[in-house]
Amino acid sequence: MNIEPYIQILTKFWGYSSFKPLQEEIIRSVAEGKDTLGLMPTGGGKSITFQVPALVHDGICLVITPLIALMKDQVNRLNSLEIRAIAIHSGMSGEEVDTALENCIYGDYKFMYISPERISTRIFQAKVTRLNLSMVAIDEAHCISQWGYDFRPSYLKIASLREYIPDNIPFLALTASATPQVIEDIMVKLAFREKNVLRTSFDRKNISYLVRKVEDKGSYLIKTLQKTKGSGIVYVRSRKRCKEVAELLVANGISADFYHAGLTDELRDKKQASWTIGETRIIVATNAFGMGIDKAEVRFVIHWDMPDSIESYFQESGRAGRDGKPSFAVLLYSPADKKRLRDSIRKKFPEIEKIKDTYEALCNYLQVPLGSGKDIVFDFNMYDFVSKYRLPVIETYNSLQFLQREGYMEFTEEINNPSRVHFIVGRDDLYKFQVANESFDGFIKLLLRSYTGMFSEFVPINEEALSRKSAATRDTIYQYLVKLSSLNIIRYIPGKKTALVIFTEERLVRKALMISPDNYLHVKEKYEIRLDKMIEYADSDGHCRSVYLLDYFGEESDRCGICDVCRERNELSLSKYEFDIILEEIKSVLSENNPDAEELVKLVDYPEDRVVKVIRWLLDHNKIVPDGSHKLSWKS
């Protein structure tokens, strides 16, 4: 395979003269028609691996992603490069979806982004056979595995695409974090023709992982940021704390702002842009901050609150140091965090009967009759719903997540859909209308001057911007749009900000709503295991942080030498080689005997002063423990 055309595309659109590690291998694999699973850490450039080959080859690349905001972000980026891309998701009307699919069949689009629940709809299945596909890219591929931390049943439908498309169309599955079990599951669930995993090491040698056990996190954060240079992210778990921490930093002379999903798109974009260009030094954010981050020089990522899985922590902390320079990932940890996470299990897993109560209340709230509702998309106001039925917010949210996991519905977070306009008459008929209806002529010209492409597709518009351009009120603009729509000159879909509920099955009677106790307990058990591993990471102070993280993902490595645990070991003035030799000898002795400390020093064949240092370190870190008679044993 000649790699030159791919490098030319990379240079032309992205300005790079060579690929990052693993990108070229993945591209070669896909170009050869092989189903491929690519494991690349956060910031590794996953999108390049399908965007570049799609531009080299004929046809359209189908990209499946569960995150509507990320989908929109990538489509906007591609369009800004004058690469034709389109998104199809649950927030669109049936007419919009139909128009978009027809444009992909007959137009010159190179990318069609789609949310996974759309795959099983009749309109998509009817038209996908007419698409000239070059490849299928599946982002966030770990979502297909029930062993993973973010399982989505709609991902299980992806393999059914193979029934509608030619056999030679390769699947490219991409994820930033997957355990060995999840890796196997992805390939099975996507019906890979043969196993094919390409991965780069998850080892981030430039990141120093630190755990700081502190009660007063605010004081620690202020002191740390006042003496630390560079830009960073502080992750918290609630919108309220997000704002509070940012205000605390600002009050102490530190440039900071906050970011969460409850802000408008415009405000989020403004805050992210200000941080990206360096006007704001620190962004305090919930996990909503992460998509589309394109900032290499992040010197630190600090977690005020502990995530509930290693996968989440690794992804979020991996946003530090993408430029390869020394960076820090700091977890602030207190005994209260452990209790909070343990207590969260009850709210995370409401009782099965409460989940069924939520389902019935939701169906009644949305006025879905028994036996209907399948594939229908509903606007959903969470606040209004819990208020009307007097439901606890967190448990209700988690009940909806569980109903989604069981495959009864899809629940999207709040999305902001702008207003859209599509001219449904041709240019000649529009001209005749303008001549016959002079009062609309100026407004139609304003629309056509302001936006392009409205004759072939639905185009996002901004009524406020049109109001400013024309010196007319926003209401006047709205009335023009509504009137033109009623006259069948345009289709006008007013913008709205809402969450969505999509029923993937018709409404069932309560007794037919099957939530298997075994499955419920299985999911809960897996969650608790992931939670325990996260707590173990924070509690452990005798195990290299980097080794611990990499071991979780099935990768072997030597200790990093720069995490807090390694630094403390380095202070012993022992090389890694010496420390490990003495450590292994101590383990060997304690596997057969239980001497006291003085006896142990003599039993290890190494200079006494060095053996004493290692024993003292092992005692301090609770790796060896004395009994009532001061006899030592290895704590397994």
Show me where the domains of the chain are located.
4-199, 207-333, 342-417+499-528, 419-494, 572-634
Both tokens of 316, joined, read 């979020």
- pLDDT tens, position by position, 384-405: 999 999 999 889 999 998 898 8
Regarding the domain delimited by 207-333, which CATH topology (the fold level of the hierarchy) does it fall under?
A: Rossmann fold (3.40.50)
- How many CB atoms are closer than 10 A to CB 12? 10
Residue 251 has pLDDT above 70, yes or no: yes
Report pTM.
0.79
CA distances from 600 to 267, 317, 594, 627 (A): 63, 40, 8, 14
Residue 399 backbone dihedrals phi, psi, to 5 degrees: -65, -40
Residues whose CB is less than 8 angstroms from the CB of residue 522 and which lie 6 or more positions away in sequence, other chains included: none
> Which CATH number applies to 4-199: 3.30.70.270, 3.20.20.70, 3.40.1390.10, 3.40.50.300?
3.40.50.300
CB 352 within 8 A of CB 487: no
Q: If you count DSSP H runs as helices and E runs as strands, how many of each does the chain have, helices first? A: 25, 21
Residue appearing with tokens 């069609």: 112
Closest CA to 443 of 466, 413, 411: 466
- pLDDT tens, position by position, 447-482: 999 999 899 999 999 999 999 998 899 999 999 999
pLDDT of residue 293: 74
Residues whose CB is less than 8 angstroms from the CB of residue 3 and which lie 6 or more positions away in sequence, other chains included: 24, 27, 28
The least confident of 38-47, 80-89, 99-108 is 38-47
pLDDT of residue 292: 64
Helix/strand/coil for 543: coil
- pLDDT tens, position by position, 58-83: 999 999 998 887 888 889 889 999 99
Regarding the domain delimited by 342-417+499-528, which CATH topology (the fold level of the hierarchy) does it fall under?
A: Arc Repressor Mutant, subunit A (1.10.10)
pLDDT of residue 636: 61
pLDDT of residue 609: 80
* C-alpha span between 431 and 419 (Å, rounded): 24
- pLDDT tens, position by position, 541-550: 878 999 999 9
Residue 571 has pLDDT above 70, yes or no: no
- Rg from Cα positions in the chain: 28
pLDDT cut 90: percent of the chain above it: 53
**In 294-408, beta strands by DSSP E:** 298-303, 327-333, 377-380
The mean pLDDT of 289-312, rounded to a whole number, is 87
Residue 395 backbone dihedrals phi, psi, to 5 degrees: -65, -35
DSSP state of 589: H
| Beta strand pairing call for 377-380 and 231-235 | unpaired
pLDDT cut 70: percent of the chain above it: 98
- pLDDT tens, position by position, 192-208: 999 999 998 888 889 99
420: which strand partners?
460, 493
**Element of type H or E holding 199:** strand 197-199
575 band by pLDDT with thresholds 50, 70 and 90 = confident
pLDDT of residue 584: 84
- pLDDT tens, position by position, 590-601: 888 888 888 888
- pLDDT tens, position by position, 98-112: 999 999 998 889 999
CB 86 within 8 A of CB 113: yes
* C-alpha span between 270 and 367 (Å, rounded): 38
Same fold, 342-417+499-528 and 572-634: yes
Residue 146 has pLDDT above 80, yes or no: no
> Which CATH number applies to 572-634: 1.10.3470, 1.10.10, 1.10.60, 1.20.120?
1.10.10
* C-alpha span between 129 and 109 (Å, rounded): 16
pLDDT of residue 291: 65
Residue 451 backbone dihedrals phi, psi, to 5 degrees: -140, 150
pLDDT of residue 559: 83
